[in-house]
Structures are given as structure tokens and as C-alpha cells.
Amino acid sequence: MRYIEPHAHMVSRTMDDYKALAMAGCRAICEPAFWAGFDRSSVDGFYDYFRQLTEYEPKRAARFQIAHYSWICINPKEAEDPEFAREVIQIIPEFLKKENVLGVGEIGLNKNSKNEVAIFEEQVQLALDHNQLILIHTPHLEDKYKGTQLIIDMLRQHSEIDPNRVLIDHVEEHTVKQVVEAGFWAGITLYPESKCTPARAVDMLDLYGSTDRLWMNSACDWGVSDPLSLPKAVLELRKRGFDEQTIDRFVYQNPLKFLRQSGMEILPEG
Amino acid sequence: MKETKTAMMDVYFMDARSKLIDIAAFMDRAERYGETGDYRYQEFVKALDALRSSDRAESVLMKLSDPSKEPSEKASAGPAVGAYQKD
Ligand SMILES: [Zn+2]
């Protein structure tokens, strides 16, 4: 089996995890910029983090023949101070030029506040100005439904956005339909506690898998999460009778199709 | 797309049965410790009604979601808790 892990926060993971991912068939990892569990107090803190994503993690991944790509942005959790967020946004274009950066992400909302909305809008504009793909984080738990609505409404107001170049992540049963029907890509995040189990993810693939605009990811970070949740979802797909060709489409070809819109040569052999 | 038709009960019944008993035990526990007044528990009990609808997973999630539409003035402190306190 081969697969792409399209959303993993490897900065909070060990080399053992890279090894386990490689052994499970992972060919490429995409790492969005996010909140690392502790607020950064300066623009320099972000600068170092972006360098870690674009320079250091690719080297760690390469030790296990895994390709590594990243997304750059200021995450919604740290967007509550808009002046500070704008200073961080100033340094992003330098990183968007790098050959292993996929686009702007994971932007989005966390607690659905006015400041988060403002910084989200500004980063959508940044992505459009630089012709970048967009990866969007939707809020957790009770805030997800409202946040997803707000995000879709805001994106719809930009007529210049091609929904095919936007992925809205962490969908669940109450948000997947509206994302897919609005023409965006949808990401299903497999989390042991707070998001989606493999069985529920496969239910969503059962219902919406005929579209190619779906992927699954582990989002593994510093919280309770499992870097091998994608191979576990593949076991679930097999249990449910999906053939190997369809499984390959879900876990390899679909993400590849979205990511190659960045214009980069991603896994050129596959 | 699908190779064979899978018997869902063979695959999922025992797992669902165990989770159902877990829910029952959680409710007994909440009662024993006198915490049924907590809004999270109250919203949980209300969400059980959604099991009688169709699209149960979606309905349960909606029962536990913030139904408001406008962005808030400020981000609330602390992480999301999984249930929304309706007044
Ligand atoms: Zn993430």
C-alpha cells in the first residue's frame, strides 16, 4: 500500500514516527503551519518555525525516503492580536516562494471571533495575490458548525476564488455535505477523541466518495493523536469491502490531484 | 468500488454494544457523583433525542453545536469543551 499523509504536524513528532509512517507506506507528508501548543511572542519566533517547516523537517523526512511539503500562515489561534498577526503576514511571501511550499495554510477560524475573521480574510487575499492553494482549518467541537458556515460564506464572497483550489479540513457529518456541495475539497481528520474515528470517516467516504474532492489525514500533533491513523482507516476500508483501486484513489491519487495544483512536481514517479 | 457486501452487524455490533454500555455507565456515574446539573451533561442528554431521527450522527453533532451565526467580539478563553451552553 502507498499513501500520502496530507496533514501532519511533524515538528511535534519523533524520528520513530517518521520510521513508522515510512514502514506503513507513506510516500509524502504535508505539514501545515499551526499553533504549536504555546503562543509565540515575536515575529522571529514565527520566522524560525517557518524555517523549521521548510528546511529542517524535509531533511528528517528524507532520511526515510518520505517527501515533505509545507503550508505557511499564521494560524487562527494566534490571530486574536491582529496587529501582531499582520506583522507575521509580512514575512510569509518570502516562504511562499520556496520550492517545497504548497500554499497558504492552515488558515481559518478557531473561536469564530471578529479578529480571527479579519485575519482569515487577509490571508485569503494573500493567497489570491500570490496565486496559492489554500488549506483551511475549521474550529473544534461546538464551534465547528458555525465556523464552517462563516468560512464558506466568506469564500463565496470572493468571485475570484476557484473552489477546486481550496481544501476545508476537519469536516464531520454536520459539515461535510455543505463543503463538498459548494465545490471545495474536504478533509476528514482522524483523531482518537475529538474528531473522527476510522469507521465514521469510511461512512463519509461511503456517502461522498464518488467525488474525488475528499482526503483523510491524521493531523497528528502534540495532542492526543495517532500518526498511523490513516493506515488504520485503510484497514477499515478493507473491512467494509472497498477494493484496492478505490483505496488507492482515496489515500494517494486524490491528495496528489489536489496538491499538484500547486504547480510543484509532487511524487513525479506516481 | 466495493468488492463484496459486508455484513455490518458482524463488523460493528459488538463495538457499538460496548459503546452503548459505556454511555449507560457514564450516566450512572454522573448521577452517583451528583453532576447531572452540569450543562455538558444536560446537553448530552438532549443530544440522545437525536438518536430517534434519521441522520443521527449529524443530528447529535448539531445538538452539541453553537447555533449562533455572527462572529463573537472576542475569542473565548480556553479550549472548546464539546457542548454549547444554550443560555
Ligand atoms: Zn492541523
Residue B1 touches chain A, beta carbons under 8 Å = yes
Q: With respect to residue B77, please indicate whether it lies within any of the assigned structural domains.
A: no
Residue A107, pLDDT above cutoff 70: yes
Which residue of B13, B18, B66 is the best one to mutate when testing the A interface, meaning the one whose CB has the most A CBs within 10 A?
Answer: B66
Residues of chain B in contact with residue A139, where contact means CB-CB under 8 angstroms, are 80
Ligand 1 centroid to A220 CA: how many Å?
8
Share of chain A above pLDDT 70, in %: 99
Residue B4's pLDDT band, with cuts at 50, 70 and 90, is low
Residue B65 touches chain A, beta carbons under 8 Å = yes
A23/A223: higher pLDDT: A23
Residue B2, pLDDT above cutoff 80: no
pLDDT tens digits, A231-252: 999 999 999 999 999 999 999 9
Share of chain A above pLDDT 90, in %: 93
What local confidence, expressed as pLDDT, does residue B21 receive? 98
- What ipTM was predicted for this assembly? 0.94
Ligand 1 centroid to A34 CA: how many Å?
6
Q: With respect to residue B74, please indicate whether it lies within any of the assigned structural domains.
A: no
Please tell me the number of Cα atoms within 13 Å of A32 on its side-chain side: 29
Among chain B residues, CA nearest to A172: B58
Q: With respect to residue B70, please indicate whether it lies within any of the assigned structural domains.
A: no
Lowest-confidence pick of A35-49, A171-185, A186-200: A186-200
Task: Give chain A's mean pLDDT.
Answer: 96
Q: With a CB-CB cutoff of 8 Å, which residues 4-33 of chain B face chain A?
A: 4-6, 11-12, 15
What local confidence, expressed as pLDDT, does residue A120 receive? 98
Please tell me the number of Cα atoms within 13 Å of A70 on its side-chain side: 24
Q: With respect to residue B27, please indicate whether it lies within any of the assigned structural domains.
A: yes
Q: With respect to residue B83, please indicate whether it lies within any of the assigned structural domains.
A: no
Interchain proximity A113–B71, CB inside 8 Å: yes
Ligand 1 centroid to A106 CA: how many Å?
7
pLDDT tens digits, A2-14: 999 999 999 999 9
Residue B87's pLDDT band, with cuts at 50, 70 and 90, is low
Ligand 1 centroid to A17 CA: how many Å?
17
Residue B3, pLDDT above cutoff 70: no
Nearest to B72 among A113, A241, A243 (CB): A113
- What are the structural domains of chain A? 3-262 (3.20.20.140)
Counted domains in chain B = 1
Ligand 1 centroid to A35 CA: how many Å?
8
Among chain A residues, CA nearest to B16: A199
Task: Show contacts of A122-129: CB within 8 Å, 24+ apart.
Answer: A122/A86, A122/A89, A123/A73, A123/A74, A123/A89, A123/A92, A124/A154, A124/A155, A124/A158, A124/A161, A126/A89, A126/A92, A126/A93, A127/A103, A128/A158, A128/A160, A128/A161
Q: Nearest CA of chain B to the CA of A73: how many Å? A: 19
Residue length of chain A:
270
Which pTM value belongs to this model? 0.96
Residue A191's pLDDT band, with cuts at 50, 70 and 90, is confident
Q: Are A18 and A266 in contact (CB under 8 A)?
A: no
Does residue B2 sit in helix, strand or coil?
strand
Nearest to B6 among A80, A200, A240 (CB): A240
Q: Which domain covers residue B55, as residue numbers? A: 8-65
| Residue A37: alpha-carbon gap to chain centroid | 17
Q: With respect to residue B87, please indicate whether it lies within any of the assigned structural domains.
A: no
Interchain proximity A116–B61, CB inside 8 Å: no
Ligand 1 centroid to A225 CA: how many Å?
11
Residue B6, pLDDT above cutoff 80: no
Residues of chain B in contact with residue A203, where contact means CB-CB under 8 angstroms, are 57
3-state helix, strand, coil in chain A (%, to 5): 50, 15, 35
User: Which residues in A170-188 are b (16+ Cβ under 10 Å) and which e?
Assistant: bbbbbbbbbbbeeebbbbb
pLDDT tens digits, A121-155: 999 999 999 999 999 999 999 999 999 999 999 99
H/E stretch holding A32: strand A26-32
pLDDT tens digits, B38-85: 999 999 999 999 999 999 999 999 999 999 999 999 999 999 999 999
Q: Residue B32 has which C-alpha cell? A: 452517583
**Among A185, A74, A187, residue whose Cα is nearest residue A123:** A74
Residues of chain A in contact with residue B15, where contact means CB-CB under 8 angstroms, are 199
Residue A180, pLDDT above cutoff 90: yes
Q: With respect to residue B72, please indicate whether it lies within any of the assigned structural domains.
A: no
